[in-house]
Structure 1
Amino acid sequence: MASTSRGDALALPRVKCPNHPEAILVEDYRAGDMICPECGLVVGDRVIDVSSEWRTFSNEKALKDPSRVGDAQNPLLNGGDLTTMIGKGTGAASFDEFGNSKYKNLRNMSSSNRAMLNGFKEISNMADRINLPRNIINKSNNLFKQLYSQKSLRGRANDAIASACLYIACRQEGVPRTFKEICAVSRISKKEIGRCFKLILKALETSVDLITTGDFMSRFCSNLGLPKHVQMAATYIARKAVELDLVPGRSPISVAAAAIYMASQASAEKKTQKEIGDITGVSNFTMKQSYRLIYPRAAELFPSVFKFDTPVDKLLRL
């Protein structure tokens, strides 16, 4: 007979062998028995198997694990998605005399849950395209749910709201992305994402930190394949230009692009305006304007330890 350990009345009893209480029992999944490995005594039977009904392998691209316990609850959905799917009947008893199914599908998902699921799917797809981590996706999903529950942005496309939520989540989590980067993985225009962004901040009464040139510099330089000393010089140039108030009214992204161009032109790793523009999303004209503002004070902007391949007085004027 099986014996159980004494303990707190609220604690679940632990099945153990009466002859070898310290032995770790072996579970026979096929028979549903708990067996003592020391003496072979069956100390528990008819154990419920909650594992998968069949094996799955890592190289198989199965969308779901075929387990008996069903999908995990989604806390973002109303009611936790605790619904039931009734399969389509095939026998004669499943239809009435007019040929209509007797058993209706009771799992008709509510329109609100369906809309939220579509929004979550869109956020996940966009995040995957630009390799954003899971915490950004979760933050975006929570923002989307808040907006949908409050019905704050009626009349706006769900895709536009999802794109703006992803943009806000990136900034709030300290890994900002530009509007152009979000627009590149979305079907929504940059102008519409910007409008939703402002409406969301107002509706949720939240805020985001101001972006700076340093938020983008390491990623831009890494994508351009620039060495560490060029990245450090570009970061120093951009920060110094802002401190000296040389670029009033210019966006941090355009200042970062101009600083990268100046640092690369002074080094052996020269990059063209087009190469920098393709990575940063800044047009040649905008980059030129920012560069022309900082060029007259170029000698003051470089760090003292920077090793010039091209002297400051030889840099292009544009």
Structure 2
Amino acid sequence: MIVIVLRDMAFTSRGDALALPRVHCPDHPDAILVEDYRAGDMICPECGLVVGDRVIDVGSEWRTFSNEKALKDPSRVGDAQNPLLNGGDLTTMISKGTGAASFDECGKPKYQNRRTKSSSDRAMLNAFEEIRTMADRIHLPAIIIDRTNNLFKQVYEQKSLKGHAHDAIATACLYIACRQEGVPRTFKEICAVSPISKKKIGRCFKLILKMLDISLDLINPGDLMPRFCSNLGLPKPVRMAANFIARKAVELDLVPGRSPISVAAAAIYMASQASAQKKTQKEIGDIAGVADVTIRQLYRLIYPRAAELFPPDFKFDTPIVKLPQL
């Protein structure tokens, strides 16, 4: 869209009101306007008046230097090449012939439409599309998609997981990429956006870790706390208190061997019950993907030491002695 600010305009055609207007300076109509390419302005050289702004540059998208070869064509045609594909994502298409010379004496076409893309590239393209679809469903950034594509390419080229569905491998690679990039998602969240069963994804996950010799850091309850509290609509003080409770519970060894997701859910429940924004076990369980009974079990483990778990500056709406005793 071109937005031009003018004081005056004159039509170049002879009485044709539909012709394009000629931009000129109202005080110096015969002056040749100068275009400022950096700012996109049309400036009158006589008085410096800006008679047009946000002008679109219709020139080339490249620069030509004196030491470059004259035969080099800098024009770009088509989409950018994909470095993960062996053929550079290039294809050759031959259109269907219509004349008599396009068919042989038997009536068969002489020129068949052929693609230079190999079967492996087509398989990886389908997997990349599935990865992008799953990542978009749970709002993952582009860096996660790129790492997942690289992981899938490594697994596919080693051919060690033959017999496993490509969708299961792609889902497992997506979960690994989230862990590696510090954007943790629960296993249930990843499985929820995939058409493959949780059992098959878990099997591929273990095989990929062993095959590529990948070691993943353990998930910390604090990594999941901001997203869970944000989805629950809890304010920052409650989130900070829940994070403090989860960290102290782990330090005091109150929840040995428990899942960090369950620990985070129990800490959020305790912090919310002590604040004005109280959340039920079902509300927290639906967001965290944890059963209500699991939250109650962990809450019973940390409740006897509740006085040691809350941060010193936390403002209680419900005192500790009146917290639910499940």
TM-score by length of 1: 0.78
Q: Is the 8 A contact 2:127 2:166 kept in 1?
A: yes
Which amino acid is the alignment partner of residue 283 of structure 1? A
Instruction: Show the counterpart of 1:139.
Output: 147
Are 2:96 and 1:88 equivalent residues in the alignment? yes
2:111 counterpart (94, 103, 107): 103
What SS is found at the alignment partner of 1:78?
coil
Larger radius of gyration: 2
TM alignment of 1:265-276, pairs within 5 A? 265-276=273-284
Q: Is the 8 A contact 2:172 2:204 kept in 1?
A: yes
Tell me which stretches of 4 or more aligned residues in structure 1 moved more than 6 Å. 27-30, 46-49
Instruction: Show the counterpart of 1:264.
Output: 272
Instruction: Show the counterpart of 1:203.
Output: 211
Q: Is the 8 A contact 2:244 2:309 kept in 1?
A: yes
Q: Is the 8 A contact 1:183 1:190 kept in 2?
A: yes
- Aligned partners of 2:206, 2:59: CA distance in 1, in Å? 57
Instruction: Show the counterpart of 1:314.
Output: 322
- Aligned partners of 2:282, 2:170: CA distance in 1, in Å? 31
Are 2:309 and 1:305 equivalent residues in the alignment? no
What SS is found at the alignment partner of 1:115?
helix
TM alignment of 1:21-60, pairs within 5 A? 50=75
Instruction: Show the counterpart of 1:16.
Output: none
Instruction: Show the counterpart of 2:53.
Output: none
Q: CA deviation at 1:91?
A: 2.1
What SS is found at the alignment partner of 1:85?
coil
2:304 counterpart (296, 303, 317): 296
- Aligned partners of 1:307, 1:29: CA distance in 2, in Å? 63
**C-alpha distance after superposition, 1:212-264 (max 9, x if no partner):** 10110011101111010000000000000000111011100000000000000
Change (3 A) 1:228 1:29: closer
What SS is found at the alignment partner of 2:109?
coil
**C-alpha distance after superposition, 1:11-31 (max 9, x if no partner):** xxxxxxxxxxxxx9xx9879x
TM-score by length of 2: 0.76
- Aligned partners of 2:88, 2:190: CA distance in 1, in Å? 30
What SS is found at the alignment partner of 1:104?
coil
Instruction: Show the counterpart of 1:117.
Output: 125
- Aligned partners of 2:240, 2:204: CA distance in 1, in Å? 35
- Aligned partners of 2:126, 2:58: CA distance in 1, in Å? 42
Q: CA deviation at 1:284?
A: 0.7
Q: CA deviation at 1:108?
A: 5.1
Are 2:231 and 1:231 equivalent residues in the alignment? no
- Aligned partners of 2:109, 2:205: CA distance in 1, in Å? 47
Change (3 A) 1:276 1:92: same
Q: CA deviation at 1:109?
A: 2.7
1:283 counterpart (268, 287, 291): 291
5+ long unaligned stretches in structure 1: 1-23, 35-45, 51-67
- Aligned partners of 2:162, 2:325: CA distance in 1, in Å? 50
2:230 counterpart (205, 217, 222): 222
Q: How much identity, in percent, do the aligned residues show?
A: 76
Instruction: Show the counterpart of 1:65.
Output: none
Superposition CA RMSD, Å: 2.3
- Aligned partners of 1:296, 1:313: CA distance in 2, in Å? 10
Are 2:84 and 1:76 equivalent residues in the alignment? yes
Instruction: Show the counterpart of 2:9.
Output: none
**C-alpha distance after superposition, 1:34-64 (max 9, x if no partner):** 9xxxxxxxxxxx99794xxxxxxxxxxxxxx
Residues matched between the structures, number:
263
Instruction: Show the counterpart of 1:162.
Output: 170
What SS is found at the alignment partner of 1:148?
helix
- Aligned partners of 1:92, 1:304: CA distance in 2, in Å? 89
Change (3 A) 1:91 1:296: same
Instruction: Show the counterpart of 1:6.
Output: none
Instruction: Show the counterpart of 1:253.
Output: 261
Instruction: Show the counterpart of 2:49.
Output: none
- Aligned partners of 1:83, 1:165: CA distance in 2, in Å? 28
- Aligned partners of 2:300, 2:129: CA distance in 1, in Å? 44
Which one is further off, 128-137 or 89-98?
Answer: 89-98
5+ long unaligned stretches in structure 2: 1-36, 38-56, 65-70
- Aligned partners of 1:157, 1:191: CA distance in 2, in Å? 12
Change (3 A) 1:204 1:91: same
